Amino acid sequence: MPTITLPDGSRRSYEQPITAAQLAADIGPGLAKAALAARIEGTVRDLSSTIDRDCAVALITPRTRDRGVDADALQLIRHSCAHVMAEAIAKLFPHAKLVYGPPLDTGFYYDISFEGGRAISTEDFPAIEAEMTRIIGENRPFTRCELSLRDGLDKLRAEGSKFKLDNAERAREAGSTTLSWYATGVPGTNWEDLCRGPHVPSTGRIGAFKVMSLASSYWKGDETLDRLTRVYGTAFATAEELAAHLTQLDEAKKRDHRVLGKQLRLFHIDEMVGQGLILWTPNGSIVRQELQNFISDELRKQGYTQVFTPHIGKLDLYRTSGHFPYYRESQYPPVIEHEQMAALAKEGCSCGELANRLEKGEIDGYLLKPMNCPHHIRIFASSPHSYRDMPVRLSEFGTVYRWEQSGEIGGMTRVRGFTQDDAHLFCREDQVAQELLGCLSLVKLIFGTLGMNEYRVRVGLRDSDSAKYVGDPKNWGKAEDACRTAARTLGVPFSEEPGEAAFYGPKIDFVVKDVIGRSWQLGTVQVDYNLPERFDLTYVGADNQAHRPVMIHRAPFGSMERFIGCLIEHFAGAFPVWLAPEQVRVLPISEKSATYARELHSALVAAGLRAGIDEGNERIQGKIKDASEMKIPYLAVVGPRDAEGRKVSVRAFGTEANLGEIGFDAFVEGLTGEARSRGAETLRSRMGT
């Protein structure tokens, strides 16, 4: 005799157990029609679930009561659509073995093995979609059936799918006592799939869908196991929402830093130069230089000193630091001197032998530096330090090289050579907390100045099971505590993630998403008790004894490449004045105003602004269009009227109309102020708009 509490607080009592579908019908026909599933005591269940005891129930419909999209409903639709897609593929590819098909934030996928038969290709999508449309059109019910664990496993063994059997085994390990199947239609007659559910009541309730793309994956994410084909799709409650989603993807593409990088000529990647090696073109170099100037100003204020170090160092340096050979896989191979090379060739030294002898230290060579810290450590070690000099803060825009897997490289966000806005702080143990705060405030200042507020903070800790970390567990404990404490002072939520630490110490990372939803680590602050020990670094304490400093590694941008890649997307290429490669362009209405236009242009350049002038013979509309395509923040339109009044007609990027007129000198001053203040004072505020 269940009494059911609904989300509005009202209660309904029933004499008999009741299904969620019946409950919906009892509340109203509209709800019965719209309901996809029920949230029973917070758990999403099929509409066919029976309610036999007192509980709280909310019926799930595509729309929430405030007409927003219900996230659970979307998951149900997508998960159900994954089944429909799998059924369609299974029909068209009888040899396909289904593995696993979960919903995602933006859609769903199904991992499928096509081993021993024709592989799927994007050309098959129309046929798959047609079959899916047919299945959905038949509006067959999703029918759940349950078997005991034993019967279920027997059934799977009989079917002979090792993948599904493995899924079931894992369900057992997770404590399930039964296994469930969902048939699209009549069990035993229609297609069915091992699945925990829940699902929408019938295939017709999947509103609009699209098969999106193909990718490969590994069974259980393990590259030593079977390679699977992952088919991605997406589904929404309505065709309008699907269309909006696809439009949004198109829009995102236009903001993609790789697209804008070409359009705005910010950087170039050249296959003749090499994969993952960024060539900074003049426009991009301006953005980078401005950002470097910005951070350099801050570093001076915070008592950093600047150093320069070479791009390579001897292998012994990296043997001591631990970079070589433990991270050999992610480094460019060592560089060997001429004579050594000649001697080795004469001996007929094999590749394997060479690697061995490099590792053992029998042959020396140089490494393209994968990190800047060893060089900075040697600078610190090059002179004695008193506790009074600490902390020593060495900063460098240091370029490092890493051998990233070819399939991972792309755009500016994952590259093989990149410049870190790096610094290493050598401090006394009692200074660690204070220094960490300084580093974090620097990161916050940068993100704040650029208006990048959508980031998450990750405290990367050691995974105690992994052998990749160097150093004493006691030191790790201290360093991890220091990171946690510092992260708490940030005033933003953070997550602790074991296994995300650097090999020498824990870290606090700032992570942002790109336009296609991938996460990238930008700024990072890392505490390190290990490298000072490996290099036997010391300073003289008040007690006249040698003490071990603690190191902090920090890079508030992370790398210039990745940061600017993300920054391009953040601004959609429309940089604020202080960063814009071309800050203002003077557009004379016609040749009649050329002299005045040139005078204005000269004045802007003399004021230190990056100003252009368009003296082409196009009409003003065309000049505005060209300048808008380059996303230039300000346009100075000057014609006879302006020349006469010694004024400038101003147009800002992204505005429909012009901002009005302003005097010649006020315009130059206003722009200079906006650039110099990095956006704190704007020309627009000066013009009163």
Partner RNA sequence: GCCACCGUAGCUCAGUGGUAGAGCACACCCUUGGUAAGGGUGAGGUCGAGGGUUCAAUCCCCUUCGGUGGCUCCA
- Give catalytic residue positions: 373, 402, 420, 422, 424, 507, 553
Please say which residue, 303 or 517, places its beta carbon nearer to RNA. 517
The CB density around residue 144, as the number of other CB atoms within 10 Å, is: 20
Non-local CB neighbours of 244 within 8 Å, separated by 6+ positions: none
One-letter amino acid for residue 483 of the chain: C
Distance CA 222, CA 405 (A): 16
Measured CA to CA, the distance from residue 519 to residue 270 in angstroms comes to 25
Q: Spell out a b/e string for 460-487, using b for 16 or more CB atoms within 10 Å of the CB, else e.
A: bbbeeeeeebbbeeebbebbbebbeebb
Other beta carbons within 10 Å of 52:
12
Determine contact, residues 193/75, Cβ cutoff 8 Å: no
Q: How far apart are CA 315 and CA 313, in angstroms?
A: 7
Q: How far is the CB of 8 from RNA (least distance, A)?
A: 40
Question: Measuring CA to CA, which residue among 43, 46, 44, 41 is closest to residue 20?
Answer: 46
Q: Decide whether 12 or 265 has the Cβ nearer to RNA.
A: 265
- The nearer residue to RNA, 311 or 678, going by C-beta atoms, is 311
* Largest separation between any pair of C-alpha atoms in the chain: 94
| Closest approach of RNA to the CB of residue 5, in Å | 40
Task: Name the residue nearer to RNA (CB basis): 390 or 683.
Answer: 683
- Shortest distance, CB of residue 374 to RNA, whole angstroms? 10
Rounded to an integer, what is the distance from CA 589 to the centroid of its chain?
44
Exposed / middle / buried, residue 94 (Cβ in 10 Å: 0-12, 13-18, 19+) = exposed
Q: Min. distance of Cβ 2 from RNA in angstroms?
A: 42
Whether residue 260 contacts residue 568, with contact meaning beta carbons closer than 8 Å, is answered with yes
Q: Whose Cβ is closer to RNA: residue 62's or residue 370's?
A: 370
Tell me, what DSSP letter sits at residue 657? S
Q: Which is nearer to RNA, 146 or 270 (CB)?
A: 270
Question: Considering the complex, what minimum distance in angstroms separates the CB of residue 656 from RNA?
Answer: 7
Closest approach of Cβ 165 to RNA, in Å? 21
Using DSSP's 3-state secondary structure scheme, residue 172 falls into: helix
Query: Please, are residues 560 and 397 in contact by the beta-carbon 8 Å criterion?
Result: yes
Q: How far is the CB of 534 from RNA (least distance, A)?
A: 14
| Closest distance of CB 153 from RNA, Å | 26
Question: CA 99, CA 119: separation in Å to the nearest integer?
Answer: 15
Distance CA 449, CA 570 (A): 13
Min dist. Cβ of residue 245 to RNA (A): 14
Q: For RNA, which is the closer residue by CB, 247 or 658?
A: 658
Closer of 46 and 514 to RNA (Cβ): 514
Would you give the distance in Å from CA 182 to the centre of its chain? 35
Could you tell me how many residues make up the chain? 689
Distance CA 626, CA 310 (A): 42
Burial 583-601 (b: 16+ CB within 10 A, else e): bbbbbbbeeebeebbeebb
408-to-145, 220, 323, 371, 668 alpha-carbon distances in Å: 42, 20, 21, 19, 46
List the one residue out of 452, 453, 526 whose CA is nearest residue 486.
Answer: 526
CA 194 to mean position of chain CA atoms: 33
CB 437 to RNA: min, Å? 21
**Residue 646: other Cβ atoms inside 10 A:** 12
Give me the residues paired with residue 210 across strands: 234
Q: Locate all alpha helices (DSSP H) within 54-161, ordered by sequence.
A: 71-92, 125-137, 149-159
323 vs 385, which CB is nearer to RNA? 323
Nearer to RNA, 273 or 606 (CB): 273
